[in-house]
Amino acid sequence: MILRKIILFLIASSCLSHIAAAQTAFPSSTSLHPSVVERTHDFSDVVVPITSLKIVPSVKLGITGKPGPSLGIDTNYGTGFCLDARCRFIVTNYHVAMTARARKIKGEKIIHRYFATASDDKGATANPLPNGGVLPFAMSRDLAMFELCDPLPHHHGLTFSLDELEVGQEVDIYGYPKGILNPVRKLTRFPAKFKGPTTSGLLAFDYQLSADQPVRIGGASGGIVVDRETEKIVGILNGTTETVALAVPVQTLVDFVSKVQPFVAQRVFSTINGVSPVSADLYPKFSPAPDYNPKFIPGVAFGLQHRPEETPEVKELRLKAQDLADGMRNYIAVQSYEWGSGEKEPAAEAEYEVRVIDGVQRFREYPEGKKELEEVLWPRLNGFVNSSDDWTKLPKMVGTEFQLKVQQAPDVVVNQQRMKVFQYYASVEDNLCGFRPIVDFGFFTISKSVETACYGEVWTDKETNIVRISEHLELSDKLKAYRGWEESQVVLTYGWLRRVHEPPRLVPLTTFVQSRHKKKEVYWCRGQFTNYQKFGSEVKIIANDVQSPPP
């Protein structure tokens, strides 16, 4: 029997305050578009300067003419811009992030750094830096992203454009260049025109400095290239010559963010690379025929029905699902959690190191937690839902062990990738699907595990490798044991972990749970897996490590 319970928690009190802000759960197709300002004329609330000052020891000739110790200041400059509506994520260039090494942006602490490339990346070349150094990285993926502890107040993101640029199309470049005469950096606009794509995958623009701008464009790297008519971002500035500016295409940014922060990508971009972590099922519920003839008495031998032979595709899915479940019995990863309700921003966040040893899951608070936990600590909220070990139990459910009823639905195309779609169903008697509603009355709690029927969809690539699994609990009968919960569903996504000299492995990428209570509030929990370790070998996931299956 699979012991897998979705935890639903509710504080029963009429005098408690409303739950804090949270983000949308299973948004409609319209809410997938970014909730940012469509047109703006003051880009100072979008583009931000990045500066780092470091005192370095040096040797300097003294008044006696003899060398002596001295202190110098090493200064590095760059530009970044708000990615999301709240401006909690700042995008810049990889070479800016590596040279500036800023700890804060406009006073807000940087808590996570994400890189689209690295020195050992495929296609990396030695690139000169403005300070005279050399930094190896892939120029076509010259991107990095900072996650701030708190959003920048009074800042917001812009809409992005994936439309193909036309030669001669007018754009504006915004950045914080380093001045020659005046050391104070100001947001500066550089008019430009699209010249064409380069052989290295970048975008080239012709630009000119006006007579009233005695500056050089150095320091503006990481700024934005904006279409003059629509004021949508079409590129990320990453280098210049005297007359030509180079920029990373927006599609490269979409691919990067989709891999390192898929939930952010789903909210910011109109289309993302791969499968959305909150994607809805494509077909109506699968309701298989019963194993007995309803005209006869259930359980009587002559009333039993013979289950039809399964198709080769379904048989292959079972084998792949079982291999996926068996392959996740021993590893360590970092799992992030965000809890919220409705269409609000997250009300609580946490990170845990999850250790799976022989299929048993344990947690430690990340990065410095010492105590081993059987469950993730509950957030201090009036209502929430929690995910369990669905990422391994759902593949096991549709595998070879339990022989649930599975059928293949017509193939679909999702974000230009052809997917096979399979549907499954588990009855209450299968004892495989359940959840645990908890009601807290302050002095005592009521908690009882409930078994239900469930159904869902499995999406695979053309080789039948699983990329998404969903589960819907059947709570329509509104039993008292449900404690007012009426809907509950899970979406899991998987991707390839690719390492040099090792075969690729499918690993969980994201988990998303949402439940509705008494036809009112929708509570959700979403999480992401990073930093995999297995058998003592650490794997630091960057943008090019985990990939969605090819179309």
Q: Say what the pLDDT of residue 550 is.
A: 41
Q: For the chain, which ranges sit under pLDDT 50?
A: 1-4, 12-40, 214-215, 535-542, 544, 547-551
Q: Say what the pLDDT of residue 489 is.
A: 93
Closest CA to 86 of 175, 17, 132, 151: 151
Q: Which residues lie below 8 Å from residue 22, measured CB to CB, with a gap of 6+?
A: 339, 340, 341, 342, 343, 344, 345, 346, 347, 524
Closest CA to 327 of 441, 193, 485, 494: 494
* φ/ψ (deg, to 5) at 96: -70, -45
Q: Which DSSP symbol is given to 302?
A: G
CA 4 → CA 393, 394, 449, 450, distances in Å? 7, 9, 10, 11
Domains and CATH numbers, the chain: 6-17+309-547 (2.50.20), 35-57+71-268 (2.40.10.120)
DSSP per position, 269-283: -SS-SS--TTPPPSS
Lookup result for tokens 């230009």: 416
DSSP strands (E only) in 5-133: 6-11, 47-61, 67-82, 89-92, 104-105, 108-115, 125-128
Q: Note if the bond before 367 is cis, omega within 30 degrees.
A: yes
Report the SS3 class of residue 236. strand
Report the SS3 class of residue 482. helix
Q: Say what the pLDDT of residue 281 is.
A: 94
Q: Say what the pLDDT of residue 28 is.
A: 33
Per-residue pLDDT tens digits for 75-128: 788 999 999 999 999 999 999 999 888 899 999 999 999 999 988 888 888 888
Per-residue pLDDT tens digits for 310-360: 899 999 999 999 999 988 888 889 999 999 998 888 999 999 999 888 888
Q: Say what the pLDDT of residue 510 is.
A: 93
Closest CA to 505 of 280, 279, 251, 333: 333
Check the CA dihedral 368-372-375-379 and report its sign: negative
Model pTM above 0.85: no
In angstroms, the CA 484 to CA 474 distance is: 13
